[in-house]
Amino acid sequence: MAKQDFYATLGVARDASADDLKKAYRKLAMKYHPDRNPGDTAAEAKFKELNEAYDILKDDQKRAAYDRFGHAAFEGGGPGAGGFGGFEGGLGDIFDQMFGDMMGGGRRGGRQRTGADVRAQVEISLPEAFSGTKISLKVPSRIACEACDGTGSQDKTRSADTCPTCHGAGKVRAQQGFFLVERACPTCSGTGKIVRNPCKVCRGAGTVQRERNLSVDIPAGIEDGTRLRVPGQGEAGGQGVPNGDLYVHVGVRPHEIFHRDGATVVCRMPLSMTRAALGGEVEVPVVDGSRATITVSPGTQTGDQQRLRGKGFSVLRSAARGDMYVQFAVETPRKLSRRQRELLEEFEREGGGETNAAHPETEGFFGKVRDFFEGRG
């Protein structure tokens, strides 16, 4: 029988915070605790499931492994095959893939270490998403220490000894219950080296915490929720290690006139009752800031629409544009002057009532109503 998703077990969303996880676990654990349900095997099984789920999700590293690999990350025969019995080919590879950058430790197979990645969230307007824009970011991150030129050494040399704790690997392993957990070496902070004459400013790390001002180009046509990667603009690795990357998550604010669906733009346009009946030319706004003139057909109804080719949204990394649709919404006046009322009453007497053939939907509706009552009779 397949295991239930751990998030579903706790009844939380996948992006739930640590506090939300704790609250959900405590509430359910209290409900299904064996002391409160003596002799209830189902409650006991549920309690065990809750403990297993919370034990994984409360730990950031285990949670990250679960988010990527699911239950297979903690079972034999998971990714890499070998499970716990063969750590080098199983869970060890998972940790290498996921936490090599985060811990600053070396990677297997000769892959180079890098500084940690940095993530930022920005929000732009729909016109900015259409034309593209440049944003300024203040990013708190670690940068190369200026005092030692990023070497970590007081005399600005790269001379360092192999760490005696991790023997240069940058990582150490520790047994926690039935888990073998890999962490950054506490002696060398994951560098694998010990600086002989550490810099007094960065204390041998080669990096210091600073806030940087960055300028990031947002391309035209970007969609809400897009993630941009800016190589080399993450945290400094220190001691000759390449920088990490900057990931910018872009949100696009809703617009008061236009609704976007990919490269298609929809504009809902109100029409007066008389304009819809008589037709004529009207001017509509376009997302690029221009205007377009369209012809409204006589007898236009709510929900009718017109297509303007090539007037939609810009397509990412392309000169093409989508189409724009103008959707009409016919408005009935709420207040009438005496003269307006007289004219509408005259219109009604001249055949503008419910049975007029000029109102096919109205006539069809009342025909169905008549048939309905006759059928019941």
Tell me if 148 is assigned to a ligand binding site: yes
Give the pairing of strands 305-308 and 324-331: antiparallel
Q: Is 153 helix (H, G, I), strand (E, B) or coil?
A: strand
Tell me if 267 is assigned to a ligand binding site: no
CA separation for the pair 150, 206 (Å, rounded)? 4
CB 171 within 8 A of CB 106: yes
CB 273 within 8 A of CB 352: no
Q: Dihedrals φ, ψ of 280, to 5°?
A: 140, 180
E strand or H helix at 272: strand 264-272
CA separation for the pair 226, 261 (Å, rounded)? 14
What secondary structure does DSSP assign to 131-152, as a single string? H-EEEEEEEEEEEE-TTTTTS-
Token couple for 148: 């030692």
Q: Binding site: residue ranges?
A: 145, 148, 163, 166, 185, 188, 199, 202
Residues comprising the binding site for Zn(2+)? 145, 148, 163, 166, 185, 188, 199, 202
